[in-house]
């Protein structure tokens, strides 16, 4: 039985991961699990925290991000021979190095990423989508009085810069592979960035030994992430859209942001970025929330759950998991990149029909209340983790 977990929380953009850590710890406490949260500002776990973890004697440690090695070059969990659970919130190909430790457990927010890690013979992995705290769920009253028709919280990714960069760095053949992979990702609701790149390389006759595969996958992820959210906002012509978010950094400097990509849209108001815990206040004053996630083809972004909990209708990227777990037009709205021309009219129509808006949001919110709170996740995680922790501990004693 898992009785104690040490949660590690490093400061992140918009402070989302410390927020997740706190809410998940509270849910674990309600399940009878004791928790200790250790927080810091830099990416590496401070060395002095290792002794605190050792003194606490948890059954495992966990973090909502991968952690770099300590100053001695080793993972702290390998040094302590302690199971460590990395809760990934982005595509798994960024964190392949986590598979090298026998004490490592990994969860993914996309089921195809779980399959990807298993294809590398790493079996200490499970599907773990993020969630919302149950107290976030807001009664659906007077939706028509909400001040914001459509909101888009999120970072702007300068996809034009990315393409110009790789076209200078790589050969024409590699650039063609990237363009092919991007088209594959954006053309359907099931082909992941990783799979699309493999297919494109095969189609173009590019051998994996000729390039850094993970670096190319990063460009496919970055570009599709950037272009879909920009084109989604641009597709909305007749309704006011409020955008909250920063631009991304490249080589330590800010490049083109929302003000550049949305400069020609008079119906868009751009606001400074806000911390994660402030987003819920905005969502509670919004009727519709845009959510772009082309990088998840069999998983989900927590913004879908947060929007519904706060009473805002998610207009979100279509994918396999969404189709399996939510009904389009009945619990939320799904869109595909190839059909963005339909988004404007769908949004206009439901904004004019407040009773239908309330009905759709109400059904989606009820599903979130029943299935997608941190309490749900705490229960499922403990079931998944127990046999993995026990297996690691048997290995430790045999070793």
Please state the rounded mean pLDDT for residues 221-226. Answer: 96
Q: What is the mean pLDDT of the chain?
A: 94
Residue 126 sits in the same domain as residue 246: no
pLDDT at 383 over 70: yes
Please state the rounded mean pLDDT for residues 209-223. Answer: 92
pLDDT at 255: 78
CA 143 to CA 344: how far, in whole Å?
20
pLDDT at 130: 98
C-beta of residue 39 within 8 angstroms of C-beta of residue 45? no
Residue 239 sits in the same domain as residue 363: yes
Q: Where are the beta strands (DSSP E) in 57-147?
A: 60-63, 84-87, 104-108, 125-127
Task: Tell me which of 204-208, 227-231, 340-344 is least confident.
Answer: 204-208
Is residue 168 a part of any domain in this protein? no
Is residue 101 a part of any domain in this protein? yes
Residue 104 sits in the same domain as residue 149: no
Residue 315 sits in the same domain as residue 344: yes
Buried b (16+ CB within 10 A) or exposed e, 174-208: bbebbbbbbebbbeebebbbbbbbbebbeeeebee
C-beta of residue 180 within 8 angstroms of C-beta of residue 220? no
Residue 296 sits in the same domain as residue 381: no
Residue 320 sits in the same domain as residue 282: yes
pLDDT tens figures, 4-21: 999 999 887 788 999 999
Helices and strands (H and E) in the chain: how many: 15, 14
Please state the rounded mean pLDDT for residues 297-318. Answer: 98
pLDDT at 218 over 90: yes
What pTM did the predictor assign?
0.95
Burial of 391 (0-12, 13-18, 19+ CB in 10 A): middle
pLDDT at 207 over 90: no
C-beta of residue 178 within 8 angstroms of C-beta of residue 220? yes
pLDDT at 71: 85
Is residue 184 a part of any domain in this protein? no
pLDDT at 395 over 90: no
Is residue 352 a part of any domain in this protein? yes
CATH number of the structural domain spanning residue 99? 3.40.50.2000
pLDDT tens figures, 103-124: 999 999 999 999 999 999 999 9
Note down the domain range covering 88.
4-131+374-398
pLDDT at 253: 54
Q: Which of the four pLDDT bands, split at 50, 70 and 90, describes residue 399?
A: low
pLDDT at 72: 87
Residue 367 sits in the same domain as residue 379: no
Residue 254 sits in the same domain as residue 154: yes
Residue 71 sits in the same domain as residue 111: yes
pLDDT at 278: 96
CA 191 to CA 110: how far, in whole Å?
12
pLDDT at 222 over 90: yes
Residue 83 sits in the same domain as residue 225: no
Q: Which of the four pLDDT bands, split at 50, 70 and 90, describes residue 248?
A: confident
pLDDT tens figures, 323-369: 999 999 999 999 999 999 999 999 999 999 999 999 999 999 999 99
């Amino acid at each position: 039985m898992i009785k104690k977990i040490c949660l590690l929380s490093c400061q992140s953009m918009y402070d989302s991961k410390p927020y997740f850590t706190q809410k998940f710890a509270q849910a674990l406490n309600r399940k009878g699990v004791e928790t200790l949260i250790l927080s810091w500002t830099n990416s590496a776990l401070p060395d002095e925290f290792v002794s605190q973890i050792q003194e606490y004697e948890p059954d495992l440690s966990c973090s909502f991000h991968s952690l770099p090695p300590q100053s001695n070059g080793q993972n702290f969990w390998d040094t302590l021979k302690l199971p460590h659970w990395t809760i990934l919130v982005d595509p798994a190909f960024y964190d392949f190095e986590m598979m090298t430790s026998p004490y490592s457990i990994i969860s993914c927010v996309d089921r195809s990423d779980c399959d990807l890690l298993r294809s590398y013979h790493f079996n200490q992995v499970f599907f773990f989508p993020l969630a919302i705290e149950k107290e976030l769920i807001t009664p659906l009253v007077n939706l028509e009085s909400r001040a914001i028709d459509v909101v888009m919280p999120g970072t702007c990714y300068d996809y034009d810069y990315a393409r110009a960069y790789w076209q200078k760095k790589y050969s024409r053949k590699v650039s063609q592979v990237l363009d092919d992979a991007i088209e594959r990702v954006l053309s359907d609701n099931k082909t992941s960035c990783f799979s699309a790149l493999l297919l494109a390389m095969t189609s173009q006759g590019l051998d994996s030994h000729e390039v850094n595969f993970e670096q190319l996958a990063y460009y496919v992820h970055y570009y599709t992430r950037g272009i879909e959210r920009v084109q989604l906002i641009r597709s909305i012509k007749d309704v006011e859209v409020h955008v909250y978010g920063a631009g991304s950094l490249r080589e330590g400097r800010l490049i083109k942001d929302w003000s550049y990509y949305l400069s020609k849209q008079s119906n868009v108001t751009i606001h400074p970025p806000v911390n994660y815990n402030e987003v819920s206040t905005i969502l509670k004053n919004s009727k519709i929330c845009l959510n772009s996630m082309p990088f998840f083809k069999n998983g989900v972004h927590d913004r879908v759950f947060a929007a519904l909990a706060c009473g805002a209708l998610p207009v979100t990227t279509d994918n396999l998991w969404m189709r399996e777990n939510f009904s389009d037009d009945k619990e939320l709205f799904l869109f595909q990149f190839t059909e963005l021309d339909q988004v404007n009219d769908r949004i206009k129509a439901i904004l004019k029909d407040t009773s239908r808006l309330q009905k759709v949001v109400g059904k989606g919110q009820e599903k979130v209340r029943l299935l997608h709170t941190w309490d749900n996740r705490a229960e499922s995680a403990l079931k998944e983790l127990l046999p993995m922790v026990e297996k690691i501990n048997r290995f430790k004693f045999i070793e």
